Amino acid sequence: MNPQNTTVLTEKQRPLPDASLLALKLDRNSGIPLHRQICNGIRDSILQMRVAPLSRLPSTRALAKDLGVSRNSVLMAFDQLKAEGYLVGSTGGGTRVRDFFPDATISELHQRPASTPSPEAQKNRLFNRTTTSSETPYVTPPIRPFAPGIPAIDRFPIDLWRRISNRCWREQGQKLLTQIEPGGFLPLREAIATHIRVARGVTCDPAQVLITAGAQQAFHLCCQVLLRPRDLVLFENPGYSGALGAFRYAGASLVPVSVDQEGMAISEVEAQKRKPTLAYVTPTHQFPLGMPMSLPRRLELVDWAQRENAWIMEDDYDSEYRFSGPPLPALYGLDESRRVIYIGTFSKSTFPALRIGFAVLPQDLVASFAKARAFQDHHSPVITQATLCNFIQNGHFARHIRDMRNLYRKRRDILVSSLAKSFGDSIAIPHSDTGLHVTTLLPAGVDDRLVSQEAARRGLMALPLTGFAQTNLARGGMVLGFGGMTEIEIREGVKVLEEVVSTVAGTAAAADH
């Protein structure tokens, strides 16, 4: 945070403690620890705007007295909410609600009860209120050990990239200074179409490829073109919070669908009274659990979309890095009715700041998506697209992927073996054959959010599995990225995680007694 942009409130300006928090209802027979109930209740009050931004909360002593609980339970709840970004504390200033929400809180929106205001009201309240804030509404977190989705940036051939960019300027000059069509730089679309046909089994015309500013813009374009407020969207549970945020922002109604060893259980939604408009899936590498969707489930999903005249968003975010066996073909290749929109990104395969992704569209949607893109930002920077095009066409991209696949396989092996050495059978790793992260299931009763909080204090980013779920999970876990970590960092980080889990488990056992 920039100190020059920080709003300093005097004691008279600070809002008084909000009495609505005293209406928290605790169920001592539910089996849920009291500190978790307090934490969840305050979080809901914040998200539902019963407690306004910058509101001061009651002191921990006062709230504990009013609720009839120990002060330790309230302290644990406050600490968790501070770690999640909902609360801030200062010496002499008490504890206050933040005046903006970090991006990570989007994954918490599922905790709103059904009686909340309309999706449009929620969207305006959550996203637009930050326009009067003195702080930036989204702050990119620093890259820390175990941050998921971060590639080995130090291994990217930046000198080669620079030479290619310079050559593009020399050879194409003024052509790169003019505006192009919203679909993107045509040679790049041709290069992508060729690449995904060979690597992913996706056969398409280059005209069906839409270049986007990363996968996130592709998500928003799908929402803009295909959805209306309150439309039903099937969403993997647990699932990717970036896509979840796009659907929430569009005012869609999410239907969480459980994920088992074969992927999304589409059969769960057959009894829906209203027909869903769209299903979002990560079939090659389910995020965050990691399993691929089985062929029977893929065929079942495609049949469902054809029968219900619904759309499927296939998010293929890191399929290049499969460590055992050949790459799995994309769901798109099974779709004869053209109901699948295939979304890819170069953020994991090159570097995150590139901000280039793409969507492969059914022919009937090309014009609508191009028009929507034109009204957003028309197109991505042409020189960047030209450089990436050359990088792909001359074989550098394929060579880089091969090198990184070998590197990430080695780092994955080190992480899995280190976890096994430190935790033994007390944790489980369901799947680790693909991608830049592994998800570990923690011992029963260990709160993954508290693990994440304590890990953050020690310099690690171990994201809680429950943060990606819309309903309660049987077991918490940690989502651990390894792509951008050295071997030494992985081994040392696992040792710290072992200490963190032991500390949290001991604290929880003491609190229960």
pLDDT, tens digit (0-9, with 9 covering 90-100), for 287-322: 999 999 999 999 999 999 999 999 999 999 988 899
Tell me what pLDDT residue 357 has.
95
Q: Decide: helix, strand or coil at residue 210.
A: strand
> For every residue of 133-176, which 3-state class applies, written as one string?
CCCCCCCCCCCCCCCCCCCCHHHCCHHHHHHHHHHHHHHHHHHH
Q: Which of 109-118, 235-244, 397-406 has the lowest mean pLDDT?
A: 109-118
Q: Which of 56-70, 280-294, 488-502 has the lowest mean pLDDT?
A: 56-70
List helix spans (H) across 348-442.
Answer: 366-376, 382-393, 396-423
Tell me what pLDDT residue 179 has.
75
Backbone angles phi, psi at 490, to 5 degrees: -65, -50
Confidence tier at 507 by pLDDT (50, 70, 90): low
Rounded CA gap, 37 and 26, in Å?
Answer: 6
Percent of the chain with pLDDT strictly greater than 70: 83
For the chain, give me the number of helices (H) and strands (E)? Answer: 14, 13
- Report pLDDT digits (tens) over 395-424: 999 999 999 999 999 999 999 999 999 999
| pLDDT over 80 at 115, yes or no | no
* Average of per-residue pLDDT across 57-64: 87
Of 327 and 447, more confident: 447
Structure tokens at 350: 């090159």
- Report pLDDT digits (tens) over 423-462: 999 999 989 999 999 999 998 889 999 999 999 999 999 9
Percent of the chain with pLDDT strictly greater than 90: 57
Q: Decide: helix, strand or coil at residue 106.
A: helix
Asked if 304 contacts 310 with a C-beta cutoff of 8 angstroms, the reply is yes
Confidence tier at 142 by pLDDT (50, 70, 90): low
Q: Decide: helix, strand or coil at residue 475.
A: coil
Q: What is the mean pLDDT of the chain?
A: 84
Domains of the chain, earliest start first:
3-132 (1.10.10.10), 174-397 (3.40.640.10), 399-512 (3.90.1150.10)
Of 51 and 441, more confident: 441
Asked if 481 contacts 149 with a C-beta cutoff of 8 angstroms, the reply is yes
| pLDDT over 50 at 371, yes or no | yes
